[in-house]
Amino acid sequence: MDTNLSSYTRLPDQPTAAPNRRPVKAIAGIFLSILLLSSLVAFILNNGPRDAPNNVPKSQVLPETWMPPSRGVEQGVSEKAFREYSGMDPEYNWTNTMLAWQRTAFHFQPQKNWMNDPNAPLFHMGWYHIWYQYNPDSAIWGNITWGHAVSTDLIHWLHLPIAMVPDHWFDSNGVWTGSATLLPDGQIVILYTGDTDDYVQVQNLAYPANLSDPLLLDLVKYEGNPIMVPPPGIGMKDFRDPTTAWVGPDGKWRVAIGSKVNTTGITLVYQTTNFTSYELLEGVMHAVPGTGMWECVDFYPVSTTGRNGLDTSVNGPGIKHVLKASLDDEKKDFYALGTYDTINDKWTPDDPELDVGVGLRVDYGKYYASKTFYDHNKQRRILWGWIGETDSEYDDLMKGWASVQTIPRTVVFDVKTGTNILQWPVEEVEELRRNSIEFNGVELAPGSIVPLNIRSATQLDITATFEVDKEALEGVLEVDVGYNCSTAGAGVRGALGPFGLIVLADHSLFELTPVYFYISKDVGGGYKTFFCADEIRSSLALEVNKKVHGGMVPVLDGEKLTMRLLVDHSIVESFAQGGRTVITSRIYPTKAVDGAARAFLFNNATGVSVTASLTVWEMKSAYIKPYPFDDI
Q: In whole angstroms, give the CA distance from residue 604 to residue 598.
A: 18
Listed in sequence order, the residues at least 6 apart from 454 whose beta carbon sits closer than 8 Å to its beta carbon are 437, 460, 599, 616, 618
Q: In whole angstroms, give the CA distance from residue 597 to residue 256.
A: 45
Q: Any bridge partners for residue 500, and if so which?
A: 516, 602
| Consecutive H or E run containing 40 | helix 40-47
| Consecutive H or E run containing 135 | strand 127-135
Query: Of 599, 597, 598, whose CA–CA distance to 102 is shortest?
Result: 597
DSSP 66-126: GSPPP-STTTTS---S--S--S-SEEP---HHHHHHHS-SSS---SSEEEEEEEEEEEETT
What is the DSSP secondary structure assignment for residue 569, as one 8-state letter? T
Q: In whole angstroms, give the CA distance from residue 367 to residue 387.
A: 5
Query: Of 393, 82, 78, 132, whose CA–CA distance to 260 is shortest?
Result: 78
Measured CA distances, 613 to 437, 449, 473, 487, 563 (Å)? 11, 14, 19, 29, 11
Cβ atoms within 10 Å, residue 272: 19
Q: Any bridge partners for residue 505, and if so which?
A: 598
Query: Of 270, 318, 33, 76, whose CA–CA distance to 173 is shortest?
Result: 76
Taking the CA atoms of residue 503, residue 505, residue 511 and residue 515 in that order, the dihedral angle to the nearest 10 degrees is: 20
Q: Any bridge partners for residue 375, and if so which?
A: 380
153 burial type by CB count under 10 A (0-12 exposed, 13-18 middle, 19+ buried)? middle
Q: Is the peptide bond before 15 cis (omega within 30 degrees of 0)?
A: no
Cβ atoms within 10 Å, residue 6: 6
List phi, psi (to 5°) of 115.
Answer: -140, 145
SS3 388: coil
**Strands 561-568 and 459-468, how do they pair?**
antiparallel
What is the DSSP secondary structure assignment for residue 370, as one 8-state letter? E
Residue 117 annotated as catalytic: yes
What is the DSSP secondary structure assignment for residue 12, as one 8-state letter? T
What is the DSSP secondary structure assignment for residue 4, as one 8-state letter? -
Catalytic residue among 2, 117, 213, 631: 117
Query: Of 336, 227, 347, 228, whose CA–CA distance to 283 is shortest?
Result: 347
Catalytic positions, written as ranges = 117
